[in-house]
């Protein structure tokens, strides 16, 4: 059970020169280990499971049946549920990113982050393992919501490929948002504050967008923001892909947002991770 003197000195000899191959693989290897750990947590905490599943279902049903009548009248030729579902996908992926903030803030609070920082693991693994686990969760949620949408009348009008391309775009946006909220989680450092700090950012992003209602129904000053912000751009691109309307440059704009968000927030997150604790 104990370290023998010989194995201790062998360990001492090996620590200074790590083979290049191992060093290059370390971020993936350690990221996967942390992601696995986070996915187990997701399965075992009912609160997170409900947050991930019940809440999106409620959104689908509520918008479909409560607002559907009013908003549907403002749409020309598209049924509201077909308009709504791409928006709900994006909304779910955006709200779900709060999970990243809460998860990291919890690890900070429990001291687990401190232990990770003393381990010979890749510096990026705590963050990449967290966001990768949240990406897996989003795959599951998007599939679930697609099923619920089908039950209430949603149909893909393009093709299976159109649906899959749209779903991938949703996942890419969700992943980018996870890095934004990774920064929030590390910056505030406790789960309650992380949740409280997230909502004022999330609500305008999701609701002042084309996710649930067409932007042209909003006042002019709001349209200027709503037209160009990433939730609208992504929701419009996903909608075009799934409904089979002309796609144009929307997909590229959406991807540009994802890349731009990641380029800013991923390095910022890793930098914060090195400093906090």
The one among 58, 61, 62, 110 contacting another protein by CB under 8 A: 110
Instruction: Confirm or reject binding of residue 49 to another protein (CB under 8 A).
Output: no
Instruction: Confirm or reject binding of residue 246 to another protein (CB under 8 A).
Output: no
Instruction: Confirm or reject binding of residue 50 to another protein (CB under 8 A).
Output: no
Burial class (CB in 10 A: 0-12, 13-18, 19+), 67: middle
The one among 19, 21, 77, 120 contacting another protein by CB under 8 A: 120
117 vs 247, beta carbon nearer another protein: 117
Instruction: Confirm or reject binding of residue 116 to another protein (CB under 8 A).
Output: yes
Stretch that binds another protein, among 30-38, 144-152, 212-220, 235-243 (CB under 8 A): 30-38
Indicate the Cα dihedral angle 168, 144, 101, 204, nearest 10°: 80
Q: Considering the complex, what minimum distance in angstroms separates the CB of residue 268 from another protein?
A: 20
The one among 27, 75, 78, 117 contacting another protein by CB under 8 A: 117
Instruction: Confirm or reject binding of residue 46 to another protein (CB under 8 A).
Output: no
Instruction: Confirm or reject binding of residue 20 to another protein (CB under 8 A).
Output: no
Stretch that binds another protein, among 39-47, 55-63, 84-92, 247-255 (CB under 8 A): 39-47
Separation CA 63–CA 266 (nearest Å): 33
Which of 74, 101, 119 shows the shortest CA–CA distance to 186? 101
**Residues in Cβ contact with 109 at an 8 Å cutoff, skipping those fewer than 6 apart:** 189, 190, 191
Stretch that binds another protein, among 26-34, 152-160, 188-196, 254-262 (CB under 8 A): 26-34
The one among 55, 114, 151, 222 contacting another protein by CB under 8 A: 114
Size of the site for another protein (CB under 8 A): 38
The one among 24, 45, 196, 259 contacting another protein by CB under 8 A: 45
Q: Do residues 11 and 112 touch, judged by C-beta distance below 8 A? A: no
Instruction: Confirm or reject binding of residue 119 to another protein (CB under 8 A).
Output: yes
* Residues 126, 165, 238: CA angle, nearest 5 degrees: 95
Q: Which positions lie near another protein, rule CB under 8 A?
A: 1-5, 7-9, 11-12, 14-16, 18, 22, 29-30, 33-34, 36-37, 40-41, 44-45, 110-112, 114-121, 125, 277
């Amino acid at each position: 059970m104990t370290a023998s003197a010989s194995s201790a000195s062998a360990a001492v000899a090996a620590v200074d020169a790590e083979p290049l191959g191992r060093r290059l693989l370390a971020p993936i290897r350690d990221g996967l280990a942390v992601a696995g750990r986070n996915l187990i947590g997701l399965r075992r905490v009912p609160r997170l499971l409900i947050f991930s599943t019940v809440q999106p279902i409620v959104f689908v049903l509520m918008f479909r049946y409560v607002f559907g009548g009013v908003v549907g009248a403002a749409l020309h030729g598209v049924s509201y549920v077909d308009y709504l579902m791409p928006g709900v996908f994006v909304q779910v992926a955006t709200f779900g990113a709060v999970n990243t903030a809460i998860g990291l803030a919890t690890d900070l609070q429990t001291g687990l982050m401190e232990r990770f920082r003393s381990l010979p693991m890749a510096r990026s693994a705590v963050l990449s393992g967290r966001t990768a686990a949240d990406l897996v969760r989003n795959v599951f949620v998007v599939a679930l919501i697609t099923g619920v949408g089908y039950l209430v009348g949603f149909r893909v009008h393009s093709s299976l490929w159109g649906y899959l391309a749209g779903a991938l775009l949703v996942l890419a946006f969700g992943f980018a948002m996870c890095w934004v909220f990774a920064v929030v989680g590390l910056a505030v450092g406790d789960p309650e504050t992380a949740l409280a700090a997230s909502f004022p950012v999330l609500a305008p992003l999701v609701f002042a967008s084309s996710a649930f209602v067409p932007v042209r129904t909003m006042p002019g000053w709001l349209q200027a923001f709503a037209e160009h912000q990433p939730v609208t751009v992504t929701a419009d691109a996903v909608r075009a892909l799934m409904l089979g309307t002309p796609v144009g440059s929307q997909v590229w704009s959406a991807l540009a947002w994802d890349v731009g968000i990641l380029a800013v927030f991923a390095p910022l997150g890793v930098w914060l991770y090195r400093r906090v604790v």
